[in-house]
Amino acid sequence: MTAYVVIVRERTIDASALSRYRKLAPLARARHPLIPIAFYGEHEVLEGAPAEGVAILSFPTMAAARAWYASDEYQTALPHRREGSVSRVFLVAGNDGDTGAPG
């Protein structure tokens, strides 16, 4: 089942730390392929707290998403994102076409 990692950057607190993150984070893609569904493009908050940026990354499974997040490459980049921004990160399972409606 497809899985999505959603990263919501609420605000930047250290631009240079985020710059280091942006250089290091892509290294995790070599062994953990992902598809960027949305990547900090134009967005509009319809409800809730404002967001400075949003990324949605697609993985083939929840296990693949967790493996990417836990990878040495991403864990090396992660402290720079945490130092550079206030963010929320979610892992959510896709429904892969199942709407949940009765057949």
Number of domains the chain is built from:
1
Condensed to tens digits (0 to 9), the pLDDT of residues 18-69 reads 999 999 999 998 889 899 999 999 999 999 999 999 999 999 999 999 999 9
pLDDT at 100 over 80: no
In a domain, 102, yes or no: no
Q: What is the pLDDT of residue 101?
A: 59
Note whether 53 and 40 are within 8 A (CB).
yes
Q: Residue 27: name the closest of 74, 60, 61 by CA.
A: 74
Condensed to tens digits (0 to 9), the pLDDT of residues 60-97 reads 999 999 999 999 999 999 999 999 999 999 999 998 76
CB atoms within 10 A of CB 79: 13
In a domain, 61, yes or no: yes
In a domain, 42, yes or no: yes
Please give the residue range of the domain that contains residue 55.
3-93
CATH number at residue 15: 3.30.70.100
Note whether 32 and 69 are within 8 A (CB).
no
In a domain, 78, yes or no: yes
